[in-house]
Chains A and B, each alone.
Chain A
Amino acid sequence: MDILLQQIINGLTTGSVYAVVALGYTMVYGVIQLINFAHGEVVMIGAMVAFSIITSLAGSSLPPLVIVLAGVMAAVPACMVIGYLLERAAYRPLRHAPRLAPLITAIGMSIVLQHLALLAWGRNPLAFPQIIDNRVFAVGGAAISSVQIAIILLSLTMMGGLSWFVYRTRFGIAIRASAENVHVAGLMGVNADRVIAATFVIGAGLGAVAGVMYGSYYGIAHYTMGFSLGLKAFSAAVLGGIGNIAGAMLGGILLGLVEALGTGYVGDLTNLCAWPGAQGWLAAQCADGGHFVLFGSNYQDVFAFLMLILVLVFRPSGLLGERVSERA
């Protein structure tokens, strides 16, 4: 099996989910400079709602694709409502408060949502019903499953749709204008409250689909799944340049690739037995094809945050986050 190609396929899959989630962080940050730490939980609730719908319909005679679509169709509006309520109830009253206040509120809302999900869906991991026959195709020595193909295509479609919306429509241009200067956009007649609410609702809707994709990819949903997924997507948004929509997409895909390739190769690269000059005790360990691996694939989560640290140290504005300055 070709490990490189396989890890690229896996990385593109998780990366496109990160990208879609990262869009939710970056759009909100772009307009109100708030890191909505509860966004990961919104994504989790999307997965949970879809799980409930799909499980309850799984026994029916409906075609499997219709059942999955019903799950998505229920998750998206549910998450949009939660996104709207978050902004309305938790963040809007703090719009003019010191920046730390909404940030702490965001962390608080994240905990609240997590525990509401705990109450509603319980503490055990929920097995996502695999009702669609997951076929696997061989490509050049690697395998790609129909779920992976669906995730990548759906993500690209959503990213394309969002790009069209923010770059080609009147309201989308207003969102980008507000991200630059909400007061001046107000002078043009843009209602800031509406734009801000829209970024939350759109981000939550995309996040809902991402949650369903993530749940069906790993076959599991859990009330804590939003935490690490959210942090990774946030890292992706920072990597691309927080506030930059194209950056979030690029950052997500890159982060997925780095994570998959890192996980795929870290074991081989840190296998001391593969290094020349093993002696003494180590040589004994390595005898007869033995291993002495420093870091295994359980270090998967390290790569995303390593990237985050490297970006923050060497390029804090992110890959595409270079601001065009207003010249005097």
Chain B
Amino acid sequence: MALALLEALNLHVRYGGISAVKGISFAVEENEIVCLIGANGAGKTSTLKALARMIPSSGEIHYRTERIEAVPSHDLIGRGLALVPEGRGIFARLTVAENLAMGAYHRRDATGIADDVERVFALLPRLKERKAQVAGTLSGGEQQMLAIGRALMGRPKLLLLDEPSMGLAPLMVEKVFEVIRAVAAEGMTILLVEQNARLALEVCSRGYVMESGLITLADNSAALLADSRVRAAYLGE
């Protein structure tokens, strides 16, 4: 078995007295697309925030060759770990170009950054048309594209995506997932959190199902899509 790029062991997240994540373990291997599905409030976003060290947690988080529980959030992108947060988190008052520049904030290679801007524009042509525009004026789908493009500017090794379909019209969701497939096709390792289980499982090779802070099912996507419990609870059948 290949060494996992990311591995969480017995991960807990608590908010005051409330446990949001109650001791979960999972792994993401290099070049894999793994998804974490579950209902609203299952603890998916808390898990991603803990991985990106935005909130405190207990348990072990192994990333590449080190444990990152004590690494501050702002040092993770330099190690190749990027999170596209829930609700996109674009800088609404900055221009599209400035948002992308922020994605490459930790980098110093000006020519490499310029090349990557062109790569992102090739992947997301709408952003190129709007590069001088203030990001708050973009549509929801365009903002999601920008959030993904901005994360790619950091040249991550592992991309954590939190609910990229949230609040988007169905047509836009399709487009966002097309982008995710394109990024995955280039060999990016992705951990995708989604409420839209069908979409997520169609993109991923493996999935974990979270319920009330625990992982209740783990299998490859085809098996999960066929599982009667998943079909009943998440695919509306």
Contacts and interface: CB of A to CB of B under 8 A. Distances in A.
A, B from the same assembly = yes
Interface of A: 170, 173-174, 176-177, 180-181, 183-192, 323-328
B210 interface: no
A189 B74 CA distance: 4
Interface stretch (B36-44, B86-94, B116-124): B86-94
Nearest to A324: B136
B75 A327 contact: no
A173 B77 CA distance: 18
Nearest to A327: B140
Give 7 nearest A-B pairs by CB, closest first.
A324-B136, A189-B106, A184-B89, A328-B167, A189-B77, A186-B73, A186-B74
A189 B140 contact: no
Interface residues of B, number: 36
Interface of B: 52, 54, 72-78, 82-83, 85, 87-94, 98, 101-103, 105-106, 134, 136-140, 143, 150, 154, 167
A187 B54 contact: yes
28 contacts: A173-B98, A173-B101, A176-B94, A176-B98, A177-B98, A180-B92, A181-B89, A183-B54, A183-B73, A183-B89, A186-B73, A187-B83, A188-B150, A189-B105, A189-B106, A189-B154, A190-B74, A190-B102, A191-B72, A192-B74, A323-B93, A324-B92, A324-B93, A324-B134, A324-B137, A326-B90, A327-B136, A327-B143
Contacts of A183: 54, 73, 85, 89
Contacts of B87: 326
A180 B73 contact: no
A92 to B, nearest CB: 15
A181 B72 CA distance: 17
Given A181-B91, A187-B74, 6 more contacts: A184-B89, A185-B102, A186-B54, A186-B73, A188-B105, A328-B140
Nearest to A183: B54
A185 B73 CA distance: 10
Contacts of A181: 89, 91
A180 B134 CA distance: 13
B77 A180 contact: no
B143 A326 contact: yes
A177 B74 contact: no
Contact of B74 (A170, A173, A191, A327): A191
A242 to B, nearest CB: 14
A184 B77 CA distance: 11
A188 B152 CA distance: 11
Contacts of B102: 173-174, 177, 185, 188, 190
B46 to A, nearest CB: 14
A327 B78 CA distance: 30
B94 A173 contact: yes
Contacts of A177: 91, 94, 98, 102
Contacts of B138: 327
Name the residue in B77, B78, B91, B92 with the highest tally of chain A Cβ atoms < 10 Å from its Cβ. Answer: B91
Contacts of B74: 186-192
Given A173-B94, A180-B91, A180-B92, A188 B77 contact: yes
A152 B154 CA distance: 42
Contact of A187 (B85, B94, B98): B85
B77 A170 contact: no
A185 B91 CA distance: 9
Contacts of A190: 74, 102, 105
B187 to A, nearest CB: 22
B91 A176 contact: yes
Nearest to A243: B93
Contacts of A180: 91-94
Contacts of A170: 101, 105
A58 to B, nearest CB: 47
